[in-house]
């Protein structure tokens, strides 16, 4: 009986922890040791590359200061409506 009470209390505590901390989770665009790159052209798309490796065609690095870090952050949302042309200029899609 005592074990059941302890398990119930542990479950309630874990549920409370999940409710209070669950809203703070932000999904990263890329995993550790990687950075995001954007496909050239208006079609959009991105990929992740290992740190220290240049992106392969058709991908290029995002412009400095405009790199998305988390899903739905300011720059992730911005790049949904914009792209990079072959000259590196930002374009509307």
Kindly tell me if the per-residue pLDDT of 61 is higher than 90.
Answer: yes
Mean pLDDT for all residues in the chain: 84
The pLDDT confidence band at residue 22, using thresholds 50, 70 and 90, is low
pLDDT of the residue at 17: 46
Q: What percent of the chain has pLDDT over 90?
A: 68
**Region 10-19: what's the mean pLDDT?**
48
Distances (CA, A) of 3 to 10, 17, 85: 10, 21, 64
Distances (CA, A) of 92 to 3, 27, 60, 85: 61, 26, 17, 10
Whether the link from the prior residue into 67 is cis, omega within 30° of 0, is no
Looking at per-residue confidence, does 62 or 21 come out higher? 62
∠ CA 42-47-48, nearest 5°, is: 150
User: 81 near 87, Cβ under 8 Å?
Assistant: no
């Amino acid at each position: 009986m005592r074990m059941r009470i302890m398990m119930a209390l542990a479950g309630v505590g874990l549920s409370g922890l999940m409710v209070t901390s669950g809203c703070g989770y932000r999904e990263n665009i890329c995993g550790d040791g990687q950075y995001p790159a954007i496909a050239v052209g208006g079609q959009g798309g991105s990929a992740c590359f290992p740190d220290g490796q240049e992106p392969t065609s058709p991908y290029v690095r995002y412009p400095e200061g405009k790199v998305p870090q988390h899903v739905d952050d300011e720059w992730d949302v911005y790049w949904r409506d914009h792209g990079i042309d072959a000259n590196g200029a930002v374009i509307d899609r």
